[in-house]
Structure 1
Amino acid sequence: MGIYQFGQSVSRMFLSTSYKVEVVGKENIPKDGATILCCNHIHNFDPPLLGAYINRQLHYMAKQELFEMPILKGLLPKLGAFPVRRGMSDKQAIRTAMKLLKEGHMIGLFPEGTRSKDGKVGKGLSGAGFFALRTDSTVIPCAIIGPYKSFRPLKLVYGEAIDFSELREQKASAEEATELIMSEIRQLIEKHSIMP
C-alpha cells in the first residue's frame, strides 16, 4: 500500500467514525482520463473527504503556507498535493495542474478559493473555468453537505459531468465557465440537502 492509499484509509476511518458519511454518485467519476472535481468548500476536512471514498488518486492545489510547515512540506507532495499562492496568478501551479491533466490524472479544485464562513456557496474564481475550457478534461461538480458535527449526517455528492461543448463553441470566458460549474454545485446542494 502506497502513502496515498494509506492516507485514504486513515481519512476514511476517521471520517466514517466521526460523522455519518453518505457518498452519492461515485459512478459518475471516470475510471481513467483527465478529470477535474469541482467542489464547494465549507471545512478544513473537505480535501480528504473529497478523495477518501474513490478509487482514483486525487491531486490537490493546497495553499503555499502548508508547504512551509516542517512535517507537511515532505508529506503533502506524496499525498498528491501541490502548492498554489493565493491572491495572485500562480503560473507554476497552473503549469503543474495542466501537466497533471495532460497526463490523464484527476485534480480536485475548490473554485471559491477559500472556505465559506456561512456554509453558502460563494462566487467561484476563474481558475476552474480556465482548466475546463483549456483542457479536454471531464468536469465533475461535487457538493459537500454538512455541517461537520460529530455523529451527524455528512453527505458527499458527485454529480454528472458538465457539458462544456456549447461554451467552447461560443469561446466563452473562464468566468462564464466557472459560473456554470458553481451553478451545478448549487443545484446538487439543493437536490441533496439533508433534512434537519
Structure 2
Amino acid sequence: MNLYPFGKFLVSTIFYPLYRIKVIGKENFPPEGGVLLCTNHIDNLDPPVVGISCPRTVHFMAKEELFKVPILKTILPKVNAFPVKRGMSDREAFRTALKLLRSGNVVGMFPEGTRSKTGELGKGLAGAGFFALKGDADVMPCAIIGPYKPFRALRVVYGKPIAMAPYRERKASAEEVTEVIMNEIRALLEQHK
C-alpha cells in the first residue's frame, strides 16, 4: 500500500504553516520524464520538505541505517524511499535508481551524501554525476534555505533543469557532472539567501 499521497497531505498541513514554506521555481520542474532531483542537505526534515514541495512524486534514496529503525523500516518503502549503502558501491541501489529514472520517475538524492553540520554546501560525491549520466534523465537542482525554526520562513528553490545530453555525448566524467550540479545548487543558494 502506497502511503505517499496521504503522507504528502498530512506533512503539508503541518509543515507549510509551521515552517512558513515558500516554494520558488516550481514551474521549472519538468512535468514528465525521468528527473534526478539533487538538493543540498541541511536537516533530517529535508526529504519530507522536498517531497511536499515537489510537483511530482519523488523516490528518495535513503541511507540503509534508516531501514533498520523499527517504525521507519515499515513506513519508508510505503513512501517510495529505497535504501542505499553509504561509502561503497551499492549495486542494488544503483539498479533501483536507474530503473526508476529510465521509467520516467523522479529520483531524489543529496549529492553531499550526508547532512551539512554548518549549513554550508559541502562537496558532492561522484554518485550524483554517475546517475545523471547513466539515468537517461535531466537533473533538477534544488536548494533548501533554512533555518528549520517554527514560524521562520523556509525556502525551497527549484532551478532550471540541467540537460545531460551534451555531457553524455562528450563522455564527461561523473566527477565533472557532479561539480556542475553542485555549482547550480550553490548558485541557487547565493541568489536566494
TM-score, scaled relative to structure 2: 0.95
SS at match of 1:186: helix
- Secondary structure of 1:71's partner? helix
CA deviation string 1:12-55 (max 9, x = no partner)? 12211221211001111111211111000000000001110233
d(CA) in 2 for partners of 1:27 and 1:178?
Answer: 24
The CA deviation at 1:105 is 0.8
CA change 1:55–1:112 in 2 (3 A) is: same
**1:107 matched residue in structure 2:** 107
2:189 equivalent in structure 1? 189
Structure-2 residue corresponding to 1:130: 130
Instruction: Report the equivalent of 2:29.
Output: 29
2:82 aligned residue? 82
Q: Counterparts of 2:141 and 2:55 in 1: how far apart (Å)?
A: 17
Partner of 1:116: 116
Unaligned ranges ≥5, structure 2: none
* Matched length: 193
Q: How does 1:121-160 map to 2 (within 5 A)?
A: 121-160=121-160
**Counterparts of 2:28 and 2:104, CA distance in 1:** 17
CA distance in 2, matches of 1:54, 1:91: 27
CA deviation string 1:83-142 (max 9, x = no partner): 011111111100110111111111101000000000000100011101111122021100
8 Å CA contact retained: 2:137, 2:164: no
Question: TM-score, normalized by length of structure 1?
Answer: 0.94
Shift in Å, 1:2: 5.3
Task: Report the Cα distance in structure 1 between the residues aligned to 2:163 and 2:151, rounded to whole angstroms.
Answer: 36
- Aligned-pair identity in percent equals 58
Q: For residues 159 and 82 of structure 2, what CA distance do their matches in structure 1 show?
A: 25
Structure 1 counterpart SS, 2:70: coil
Counterpart code for 1:34: G
Partner Cα separation in structure 2 for residue 34 and residue 116 of structure 1: 27
**Pairwise CA RMSD:** 1.4
**Which digits, 9 at most, give the CA deviation of each residue in 1:45-73, with x for residues without a partner?**
00001110233210001111111122211
Deviates more, 1:68-77 or 1:35-44: 68-77
Moved over 2 A (4+): 163-170
Give per-residue Cα distances to partners, 1:171-195, cap 9 Å, x unaligned: 11101000000000000011111xx
SS of residue matched to 1:50: helix
Counterparts of 1:125 and 1:148, CA distance in 2: 25
**Which letter maps to 1:22?**
K
Structure 2 counterpart of 1:55: 55
Alignment of 1:14-25 (within 5 A): 14-25=14-25
Q: Which residue type is aligned with residue 149 of structure 1?
A: K
Alpha carbons 2:53, 2:156 under 8 Å: kept: no
- Structure 1's unaligned 5+ residue stretches are none
